């Protein structure tokens, strides 16, 4: 049956053409910057067009900031590629300490065991504080009783001992109504969760487990705004974008009620929930000209980038420290 | 041929003017079908409506942007997805079809090891995709040092679709009547000639349909790529198999987690593009089936 044979060879030819096209496409650009170990840094032509790839992964909270920086940097250096992953702070450090990324975004400082993992692989790094975030505790608009909560009250809601016991707002404070307390928060992989549990419950990772966790902060927005007794926490940006549905709770850590805002977070009065956000460039990457150029750009325009990406910019003191840190990092190499 | 096609019309004749039970059964069948179609229609209407403001050329002309969500595009995701699917097709289809030929035409089914292989392939088809992600991360990205590249993604997805390709290709090969093989062999053709000239051409519609459906499944996968640490924010198109990349499902996932409303619209528009690619692939499958279908 020759017609069948012809058909088959037509299909085979088509497959061959496609495979050839793909192979040629692959050959056209031989240095796709393969794995992290072989980073072919283009010979340094500072000031002129750089190329290469700067791999970034880590916190999804910090990612938009680094992404905004890479977008703006791309207008000056279009050949430098900056893929940004969002594996979470912990997941990012895992890859960073395996030598798979050049810069790690983090919404909390590196942990000791992560440091050890980095050391074991001989990966040196510098911690750079690039922006501030105000972890914001939110309740729905119709909640008219909780305008200010003390850190002790928050602990009473969130500590592991509260599990199955603190079920209504009345259990938190007898002055509150007996409305059911519905808690929403980020999942345990998140740096936000680590920071909140550390500051409020006194131990990183210690939290009641019977709350609704979500990796998507928009779910927390939906959850809290849909339940009268709802309460949740996340980064300041998510509150700003949803200020029509949610109310930010003022936090009293012993010296009066302070509302989360750009000013209180920058000025250091919004304690303990104002937190620094970090990037961790590796020392090896910081020897490559495209990474140096990127870091210079990132740090040199840090507050413009932060405002652009709707982050809380650093105060003057923090900014000076950041610039000194970068200078120190560059002089190492 | 004519004899085999009669039962269909006989069924139709029989169902005419039958009692109430028959009608109820038909209504139940139609209702089940309606559920599937209504939900698909609802999904399509919802995403098209939601993503309508962004369904224009900027969507595929622009790269994703955190700073300008209102003009951000998904070009890198479209290209990433096409690269992954293309490479997966190149790797998984020949391997899968050859494996299916072996299992159907050569393997001695009375041998225990062949039955074990068959059982394992069926099991593999049911393994959750995230498990393949873990395999890809540990074996391909780290141990084989392929890094987090298109190649790693495509190999992982190939492994994911391979069992489905093998199973559907086997079904297609099995559907070729034994009389065709026997006739060919009787005329003096060798086993390979029989397979190449008779069995394969006859089973191409089935193989093609199964393969494209398997690839369509792969196109919507996000879980293995999350595991592989594929970047979510990529502003360049892949330039080769060793390039970093992102895929549409991952981009959609990252868009919906952003606080700005514009990203929700962008995500909906991206879903429409993903659905369009899927429908396109499925219609190619249908076209291939109709084009080459043969009735015995």
Of residues B139, B127, B129, B133, the one with CA closest to residue B226: B133
d(CA A139, CA B23): 55
Q: How does residue B295 score in pLDDT terms, banded at 50, 70 and 90?
A: low
Please check whether residue B126 lies inside any domain of the structure. Answer: yes
Is A7–B246 a contact, with Cβ atoms under 8 angstroms apart?
no
Please check whether residue B6 lies inside any domain of the structure. Answer: no
Of A11, A60, A84, the CB nearest to B257: A60
Per-residue tokens: A125 = 């790094």
Assess whether B94 and B226 both reside in one domain.
yes
Is B231–A84 a contact, with Cβ atoms under 8 angstroms apart?
yes
Is A32–B243 a contact, with Cβ atoms under 8 angstroms apart?
yes
Asked if pLDDT for residue B249 goes beyond 60, the answer is yes
Contacts of A221 in chain B (CB under 8 A): 259
Contacts of B244 in chain A (CB under 8 A): 33, 53, 55, 81, 83
Beta-strand pair A148-150/A136-140: unpaired
Axis crossing angle, helix B261-292 with helix B20-51, rounded to the nearest 10 = 130
Please check whether residue B5 lies inside any domain of the structure. Answer: no
Contacts of B200 in chain A (CB under 8 A): 8
List pLDDT tens digits, range B14-42: 656 668 888 899 999 999 999 999 998 99
Query: Which residue ranges in chain A fall short of pLDDT 70?
Result: 1-47, 333
Assess whether B188 and B146 both reside in one domain.
yes
Please give the pLDDT value at position B10: 62
Beta-strand pair A274-281/A103-106: antiparallel
Assess whether B253 and B235 both reside in one domain.
yes
Please report which helix (H) or strand (E) contains residue A140, including its range: strand A136-140
Per-residue tokens: B71 = 């003009």
Please give the pLDDT value at position B12: 62
Please give the pLDDT value at position A16: 43
Please check whether residue B271 lies inside any domain of the structure. Answer: yes
Please give the pLDDT value at position A222: 92
Counts for chain B of helices (H) and strands (E), in that order: 13, 0
Contacts of B245 in chain A (CB under 8 A): 83
Is B87–A64 a contact, with Cβ atoms under 8 angstroms apart?
no
Of B87, B241, B259, the CB nearest to A218: B259
Per-residue tokens: B128 = 């959750």
Domain containing residue B180: CATH number: 1.10.3720.10
- Tokens 């911690």: give the residue: A127
Beta-strand pair A246-248/A136-140: antiparallel
Please give the pLDDT value at position B294: 66
Sign (positive or negative) of CA dihedral A176, A179, A180, A181 = negative
Assess whether B101 and B75 both reside in one domain.
yes
Is B229–A87 a contact, with Cβ atoms under 8 angstroms apart?
yes
Which residue did the predictor score with more confidence, B34 or B65? B34
Is A7–B66 a contact, with Cβ atoms under 8 angstroms apart?
no
CA-angle at A296, arms to A293 and A297, nearest 5°: 85
Please check whether residue B78 lies inside any domain of the structure. Answer: yes
Assess whether B99 and B150 both reside in one domain.
yes
Is A81–B259 a contact, with Cβ atoms under 8 angstroms apart?
no
Please check whether residue B198 lies inside any domain of the structure. Answer: yes
Assess whether B47 and B89 both reside in one domain.
no
Assess whether B105 and B205 both reside in one domain.
yes
Q: How does residue B7 score in pLDDT terms, banded at 50, 70 and 90?
A: low
Please check whether residue B2 lies inside any domain of the structure. Answer: no
Of residues A258, A250, A257, the one with CA closest to residue A143: A250
Measure CA B196 to chain center: 25
CB atoms within 10 A of CB A49: 11
**Closest-approach residue (CA) in chain B for A78:** B236
Domain with CATH 3.40.190.10 in chain A: 52-133+276-332, 136-259
Assess whether B189 and B261 both reside in one domain.
yes
List pLDDT tens digits, range A95-141: 999 998 999 999 999 999 999 999 999 999 999 999 999 999 999 99
Of B147, B148, B197, the CB nearest to A1: B197
Domain count, chain B: 2
Q: What is the mean pLDDT of residues B211-217?
A: 89
Distance from CA of B6 to the nearest CA of A (A): 26
Distance from CA of B280 to the nearest CA of A (A): 18
Class of CATH domain A136-259: alpha beta
Q: What is the mean pLDDT of residues B138-151?
A: 89
Assess whether B27 and B140 both reside in one domain.
no
Asked if pLDDT for residue B106 goes beyond 70, the answer is yes
Per-position DSSP letters for B223-250, written without gaps between them: HHHHHTT--SB--S---STTS----HHH
Is A215–B257 a contact, with Cβ atoms under 8 angstroms apart?
yes
Contacts of B90 in chain A (CB under 8 A): 15, 18-19, 22
Q: Domain A52-133+276-332 adopts which CATH fold?
A: D-Maltodextrin-Binding Protein; domain 2 (3.40.190)
CA-angle at B9, arms to B8 and B12, nearest 5°: 95
List pLDDT tens digits, range B168-202: 999 999 999 999 999 999 999 999 999 999 999 88
Asked if pLDDT for residue B138 goes beyond 80, the answer is yes
Final residue in a domain of this structure, among B5, B33, B54: B54
Please check whether residue B187 lies inside any domain of the structure. Answer: yes
Contacts of A60 in chain B (CB under 8 A): 254, 257
Please give the pLDDT value at position B241: 87
Instruction: Compute φ and ψ for B135, nearest 5 degrees.
Output: -60, -45
Query: How far is CA B130 from each of CA B158, B225, B233, rounded to the nearest angstrom?
Result: 14, 8, 21
| CB within 8 Å of B197: residues ≥ 6 apart | A1, A4, A5, B184, B189
Supply the range of the domain harboring residue B33. 17-54
**Closest-approach residue (CA) in chain B for A218:** B257
Q: What is the mean pLDDT of residues B207-217?
A: 89
Q: Tell me what ipTM this predicted complex has.
A: 0.76
For the sheet containing A128-134, what is the strand order? Answer: A56-58, A103-106, A274-281, A128-134
d(CA B252, CA B265): 10
d(CA A138, CA A81): 37
Distance from CA of B17 to the nearest CA of A (A): 43
- Count contacts between A and B (CB, < 8 Å): 134
Final residue in a domain of this structure, among B32, B54, B76: B54
Cite the DSSP H helix spans in A29-101.
63-76, 88-96
**Closest-approach residue (CA) in chain A for B141:** A35
């Amino acid at each position: 049956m020759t017609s069948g044979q012809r058909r088959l060879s037509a299909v085979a030819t088509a497959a061959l053409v496609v495979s050839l096209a793909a192979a040629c496409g692959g050959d056209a650009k031989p240095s796709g910057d393969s794995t992290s170990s072989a980073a072919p840094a283009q010979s340094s032509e500072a000031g002129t067009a750089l190329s290469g790839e700067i791999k970034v992964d880590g916190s999804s909270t910090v990612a938009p900031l680094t992404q905004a920086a890479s977008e703006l940097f791309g207008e000056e250096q279009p050949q430098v590629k900056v893929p940004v992953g969002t594996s979470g702070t912990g997941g990012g450090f895992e890859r960073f300490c395996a030598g798979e990324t050049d810069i790690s975004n983090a919404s909390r400082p590196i942990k000791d065991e992560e440091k050890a993992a980095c050391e074991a692989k001989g990966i040196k790094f510098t911690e750079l504080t690039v922006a501030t975030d105000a972890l914001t505790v939110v309740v729905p608009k119709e909640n008219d009783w909780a305008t200010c909560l003390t850190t002790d009250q928050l602990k009473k809601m969130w500590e592991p001992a509260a599990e199955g016991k603190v079920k209504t707002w009345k259990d938190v404070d007898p002055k509150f109504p007996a409305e059911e307390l519905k808690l929403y928060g980020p999942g345990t992989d998140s740096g936000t969760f680590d920071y909140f549990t550390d500051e409020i419950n006194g131990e990183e990772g210690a939290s009641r487990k019977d709350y609704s966790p979500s990796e998507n902060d928009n779910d927390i927005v939906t959850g809290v705004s849909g339940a009268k007794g709802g309460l949740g926490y996340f980064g300041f940006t998510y509150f700003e974008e949803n200020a029509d549905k949610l109310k930010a709770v003022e936090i009293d850590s012993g010296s009066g009620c302070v509302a989360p805002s750009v000013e209180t977070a920058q000025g250091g009065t919004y304690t303990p929930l104002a937190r620094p956000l970090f990037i961790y460039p590796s020392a090896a990457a910081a020897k490559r000209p495209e990474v140096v150029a990127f870091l210079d750009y990132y740090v040199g325009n840090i507050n413009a980038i932060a405002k652009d990406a709707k982050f809380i910019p650093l105060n003057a003191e923090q900014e000076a420290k950041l610039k000194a840190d970068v200078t120190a990092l560059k002089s190492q190499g | 041929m004519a004899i085999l096609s009669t039962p269909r019309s006989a069924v139709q004749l029989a169902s005419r003017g039958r009692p109430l039970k028959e009608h109820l059964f038909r209504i139940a069948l139609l209702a089940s079908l309606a559920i599937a179609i209504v939900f698909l229609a609802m999904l399509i209407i919802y995403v098209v409506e939601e993503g309508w403001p962004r369904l224009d050329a900027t969507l595929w002309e622009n790269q994703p942007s955190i700073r300008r969500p209102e003009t951000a595009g998904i070009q890198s995701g479209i290209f990433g997805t096409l690269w992954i699917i293309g490479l997966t097709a190149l790797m998984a289809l020949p391997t899968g079809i050859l494996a299916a030929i072996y299992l159907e035409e050569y393997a001695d089914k009375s041998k225990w090891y062949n039955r074990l292989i068959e059982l394992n392939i069926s099991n593999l088809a049911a393994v959750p995709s995230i498990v393949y992600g873990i395999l890809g991360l540990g074996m391909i990205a780290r141990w084989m040092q392929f890094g987090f590249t298109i190649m790693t993604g495509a190999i992982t997805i190939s492994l994911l679709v391979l069992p489905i390709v093998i199973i559907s290709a086997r079904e297609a090969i099995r559907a070729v009547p034994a009389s065709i093989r026997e006739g060919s062999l009787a005329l003096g053709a060798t086993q390979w000639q029989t397979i190449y000239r008779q069995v394969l051409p006859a089973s191409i519609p089935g193989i093609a349909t199964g393969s494209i459906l398997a690839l369509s499944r792969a196109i919507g996968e996000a879980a293995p790529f999350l595991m592989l640490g594929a970047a979510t924010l990529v502003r360049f198109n892949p330039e080769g198999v060793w390039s970093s990349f992102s895929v549409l499902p991952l981009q959609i996932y990252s868009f919906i987690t952003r606080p700005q409303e514009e990203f929700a619209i962008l995500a909906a528009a991206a879903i429409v593009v993903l659905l369009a690619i899927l429908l396109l692939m499925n219609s190619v499958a249908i076209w291939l089936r109709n084009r080459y279908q043969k009735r015995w």
